Structure formats: structure tokens, C-alpha cells
């Protein structure tokens, strides 16, 4: 058998699913708390802190 060097194969371009790469689907990712949720939790923690502080004043 002759000793041939393997010719490098041309890389084919992979055909991607155009639906899966749609711009509207780019917004997926890590699930985070919404701005409204963050605001509400900040308000609750502020109220809790204020309530604890006021209880300490009158006791």
C-alpha cells in the first residue's frame, strides 16, 4: 500500500436552525428577579427595619 498523506477535508458550514436562532429567543438566560420584585423586596426590608427600630425606641 502506498503511504499517502490524508488530505485535509474541507470543513462544511453547519446549517443551523433559523427558528432557534431567532432574535426574539435571545432574551432567554438566567432567571432573575424583576425590577418590580426587587423594589417590593427593598420596601419590605425597609419597613421591617423601621418597625424593628421603632420597637426598640419605645421599649
- pLDDT (tens digit, 9 = 90+) per residue, 2-52? 566 666 666 777 777 776 677 776 777 778 899 999 999 999 999 999 999
- Comparing C-alpha atoms, which of 48, 46, 49, 30 is closest to residue 38? 46
pLDDT of residue 8: 64
pLDDT of residue 44: 96
Query: Domain total for the chain?
Result: 1
pLDDT of residue 39: 98
* Residue 52, in any domain of the structure: yes
Secondary-structure percent of the chain, ordered helix, strand, coil, rounded to 5: 50, 0, 50
Res 59 pLDDT > 60: no
* Residue 13, in any domain of the structure: no
pLDDT of residue 4: 63
Domain, as residue range, for 41:
35-59
Amino acid at each position: 500500500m502506498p503511504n499517502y498523506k490524508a488530505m485535509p477535508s474541507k470543513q462544511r458550514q453547519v446549517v443551523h436552525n433559523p427558528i432557534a436562532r431567532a432574535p426574539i429567543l435571545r432574551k432567554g438566560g438566567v432567571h432573575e428577579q424583576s425590577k418590580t420584585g426587587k423594589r417590593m423586596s427593598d420596601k419590605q426590608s425597609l419597613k421591617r427595619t423601621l418597625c424593628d427600630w421603632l420597637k426598640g425606641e419605645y421599649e
